[in-house]
Structure 1
């Protein structure tokens, strides 16, 4: 995870963030909003996984490269799911606040993470993310149910809208800070960080999976299995 830099007090870290949840919950929309400040109006199913990078700056001159893995919703029963989740420092569990089934199914996604990290000294940082806050008037998952699930499973709690970008950057910043045990002030969270866009490189299924990157370049990679 950590890769500190000897130049002054600057520190560089890499964090693997896996995004899990049912299809149509907005996982890809969330990630593309965060990484490229773009929201696609047409739904496109993620097959296997997509892979993105974005660098952020946290207080204390801490530079963090977030390696974000967008796991397809249909992948939960696949043979590769454990490989995708393995090595994650953070896992975001995404559900659609207007779709109660997507919230109920988080138990299955949580079971995948616990199975993958069976025998490990600890689980990765886990975050519960309710997407589509712009559709509050259509909410089917009560806020108290959200908070209870987060508390019962030791997750941080987030409410975002990939469509409007509300709280999207803050969600990823907070998750990264939680992993690195950095306290964020309200003033910091109100700041807007620059959006980094990058070309997407598509790899064929026979190519090897991306591993923990050491590059400090700003790029975006998409892997299809």
Structure 2
């Protein structure tokens, strides 16, 4: 095999340092599938239908020197699928909890979705609250300040996105990954423990300690659009930019 052939073969083999399982949850019609599609395909999903049961996708992202493969489980928001979708919560390391800023009912029902996720997923579950459809400011029914308070009271991160324009769509996924990596660095989360929602990849780091610190880069985003334990501006470059 020539060097060129070897190079091509190597490129086909995706390598990553960590594998993380995420669930995307919330009421039907909040734009969960569109948000996920924009994150994985960098485009708006036209003519989106309600998810039936669960749909799977994935994307590999880079934080500093670390490559993280995200397993993304998009769950149906309809009540009739609840018993099915709940089984996919198990072992999730991250949860993207979505509501529609133009639909107050979708916000008022957040506590139920959060309770289910925390009861069934990893004990170290990282949750990011996402107020979707920020492009429809004129139809807003949930103010940013109110959602920010709810997030603080429930110890979750928070930001707003638009799956239509692409504004901030990468930020919740990267924010969750950053928080999970910090838990690994601190020793609070062990990727080799069953049910952690995280595992080592092909570029595995078998030991993380004070002399071998993780490096994740930095993130800049509008200050009004995030709250919680970490500040988004410290995480990943350009996550607050409009990509469309």
TM-score (normalizing by structure 1): 0.74
CA distance in 1, matches of 2:174, 2:132: 16
3-state SS in 1 of match to 2:62: strand
Counterpart in the other structure of 2:218: 184
Structure 1 alignment gaps of length 5 or more: 1-9, 196-225
Residues 99 and 106 in structure 2, CA contact (< 8 A), matched pair in contact too: yes
* 1:66 aligned onto 2:70: yes
Aligned with 1:108 (options 83, 105, 112)? 112
Kept in 2, the 8 Å contact 1:24–1:43? The answer is: no
CA RMSD of aligned residues (A): 2.4
Q: 1:77 to 1:49 in 2, by over 3 A?
A: closer
* Equivalenced residues, count: 181
Residues in 1 aligned to 2:27 and 2:144: alpha-carbon distance in whole angstroms: 19
Tell me which moved more, 178-187 or 127-136: 178-187
**Greater strand percent: which structure?**
1
Q: Which residues of 2 match residues 145-224 of structure 1 at below 5 A?
A: 145-181=146-182, 182=216, 184-186=218-220, 188-190=236-238
Contact (CA 8 Å) 2:96, 2:173: kept in 1 or not? Answer: no
- Which aligned segments of 4 or more residues in structure 1 are displaced greater than 2 angstroms? 75-82, 182-189
Q: Aligned partners of 1:80, 1:87: CA distance in 2, in Å?
A: 15
Q: Distance in 2 between matches of 1:76 and 1:126?
A: 24
Structure 2, unaligned runs of 5 or more: 1-14, 183-215, 221-232
Q: Is the 8 A contact 1:48 1:75 kept in 2?
A: no
Whole-Å Cα distance in 2 between the matches of residues 192 and 99 of structure 1? 24
Are the aligned partners of 2:118 and 2:125 in contact in 1 as well (CA < 8 Å)?
no
Equivalents in 1 of 2:53, 2:79: separation in Å?
6
**Which of 1 and 2 has greater Rg?**
2
Secondary structure of 2:28's match?
coil
* Structure 1 contact 17–68 (Cα < 8 Å) conserved: yes
Report the Cα offset of residue 81 of structure 1: 3.0
**Structure 1 counterpart SS, 2:39:** helix
